[in-house]
Amino acid sequence: MNYRNIRCFIKIVALMVTLSVLCLPDHALGKVYIDIDSPAFQKFPIAIVDFGKTSQQSYQTELSGWFSDTLGKYLEMTGFFNIINKKAFLEDQKQAGLTVGSIRFADWAVIGAEYLVKGAFQSNGKEVTVEFHLFDVIKGEVIIAKQYSGKIEDKTEMVRRFAGEILLALTGDEGVFGTKIAFVLKKGQNSDIYTINFDRTEILRITNFQSLTLSPRWSPDGKLIAFTSYRNGNPDLYIKSMNGAKIDKIANFDGINLAGSWSRDGRKLLLTLSKDGNEEIYTMDLASRRLERLTRNFAIDVSPAWSPDNKSIAFVSNRSGSPQIFTMSADGNDVKRLTYDGNYNTSPSWSPRGSRIAYEGRVNGRFQIFSINEDGSNPLQLTFDNVDHESPSWSPDGRYLVFSTRSGGKQRICVMNANGSNVRVLYENVSGCMSPSWSPRIK
């Protein structure tokens, strides 16, 4: 929730595909090859060969190029891979196989590939079985091999899963291919919560209140989502099940009722309430609905975000004269100012890794995305375009940020790597899309 919108507010699960999976002998090395968070990191050069057919009776020969091209697109989304153009390939694919002994690794090394993906499939038009193999070109050995079987419409999920296996084998983390981003989509005078997958697929409408609905916040298991809506005329706070129609109103005090982040165990929720005449930060025990007030200041205190260990809270306050990011302990004590550069900093989001806090700050009349160490050191500006960048939210692995932009009559939901690179548009709309919130990994 943007700080500057507070006064305005006062005035007015995921698709999961079931696959039968058979693991081939798994030779994963069980180590992180390269630290992708290092400033010296260079993208993984990887070649992905068109898949062969394991049976002459296999149908849908167009899948040969589809599997390789789709896997390449998913790996490119991460910003960690350099996909080598197929025109550069030297190895004779008619002679090569899927085993180490049948591959001329020198032909791949000479074109700059350090990793190689090869595969094969069998399909009867309704079902498909696919083999995926990842090789280390330099060592001349298999890193990981997987086989997936399922319906033909499950083929994209098979590619997603192996893309995650590649990331896990090379970086130690499976990535965020199975995650979603919730955001607010405005239509006319109303708005509702929608979700979209990390790969831009499957846009789903979550609420349909015919009113102004705002500020989605995911529960830590991804099964619930909190949001504020003017459904009954007041900005009340609701929680909705992502697997059904159940909606609970959990706070309807006079004034604003806004959700911050959830506690790690999902039992508590940070809130901003103005029921006592001033915006203050509270925690709510969701089982008992008991409130605990954390801030007691004449200033406006809003936008609370828990640290991953729930020991600290980042928030926004104008107690220093302008909106700035502060931190405090979980009981409201030990308040410290975090940001000093710029006269308008808001919308803090604490990295799941715990070391960085993202926020938006105004620079030359435009809002840009920044991140800063939790002790206030090393602030970094991540966006520089001459548009407004707002409401950053971290991916569950702490390697990406989602945010919204406003420019030229269009609003966009965008994703970028944590260092500001590899910006990608997830969704754009002329009516307005804003306030993105990244889901946890949904199983």
| Confidence tier at 58 by pLDDT (50, 70, 90) | low
Mean pLDDT within 153-163: 96
Q: What is the mean pLDDT of residues 376-393?
A: 97
Would you call 407 helix, strand, or coil by DSSP? strand
- For 250-285, how does the pLDDT look when each residue is reduced to its tens digit (9 = 90+)? 999 999 999 999 999 999 999 999 999 999 999 999
Burial per residue of 171-197, b for 16 or more beta-carbon CB atoms within 10 angstroms, e otherwise: beebbbbbbbbbbbbbeeebbbbbbbb
Residue 406 has φ and ψ, to the nearest 5°, of -135, 125
| Band of pLDDT at residue 310, cut at 50, 70 and 90 | very high
| pLDDT tens digits, 408-440 | 889 999 999 999 999 999 999 998 999 999 999
Strand residues in 298-382 grouped as ranges (E): 301-306, 312-317, 324-329, 336-337, 345-350, 356-363, 366-373, 380-381
Q: How confident is the model at residue 34 (pLDDT cuts 50, 70, 90)?
A: low
For the cut 60, the answer to whether the pLDDT of residue 16 exceeds it is no
297 phi and psi, to 5 degrees?
A: -145, 150
User: Per-residue pLDDT for 6 more than 50?
Assistant: no
Contacts of residue 113, defined as CB under 8 A and 6 or more positions apart, other chains included, come to 45, 46, 47, 84, 137
DSSP conformation class of 355: S
User: What confidence category does residue 324 fall into, taking pLDDT thresholds of 50, 70 and 90?
Assistant: very high
Greater pLDDT, 244 or 50: 50
Task: Report pLDDT digits (tens) over 176-185.
Answer: 999 999 999 9
Mean pLDDT over residues 88-96, rounded?
Answer: 84
* Rounded mean pLDDT, 88-94: 86
Instruction: Please report the pLDDT score of residue 23 as a whole number.
Output: 40
Q: Residue 208 burial by CB count (10 A; 0-12/13-18/19+): exposed, middle or buried?
A: exposed
* Predicted confidence band of residue 5 (pLDDT cuts 50, 70, 90): very low
Residues 48/83, Cβ–Cβ less than 8 Å: yes
Answer yes or no: is pLDDT of 29 > 70.
Answer: no
Cα–Cα dist 257/234, whole Å: 9
Q: Average model confidence (pLDDT) for the chain?
A: 90
Six token digits for residue 329: 């302990």
| pLDDT of residue 387 exceeding 70 | yes
User: What's the pLDDT at 101?
Assistant: 92
The model's pTM is 0.89
- Decide if pLDDT at 37 tops 80: no
Q: What is the pLDDT of residues 346-357, one digit of tens each?
A: 999 999 998 999
Structure confidence at residue 221 (pLDDT): 96
What's the residue count for the chain?
443
Q: With bands split at pLDDT 50, 70 and 90, how would you rate the model's confidence at 19?
A: very low
Q: How confident is the model at residue 13 (pLDDT cuts 50, 70, 90)?
A: very low
DSSP 81-92: EEEPPGGG--S-
Whether 334 shows a pLDDT value over 80: the answer reads: yes
% pLDDT > 90, the chain: 82
Please give the domain boundaries of the chain with CATH numbers for all domains: 3-15+176-438 (2.120.10.30), 31-171 (3.40.50.10070)
List, in order, residues 6 or more apart from 164 with CB less than 8 Å away. 174, 175, 177, 178
The pLDDT of residue 56: 64
- Pick from 33-47, 156-170, 225-239, 346-360: least confident: 33-47
Quote the pLDDT of residue 61. 74
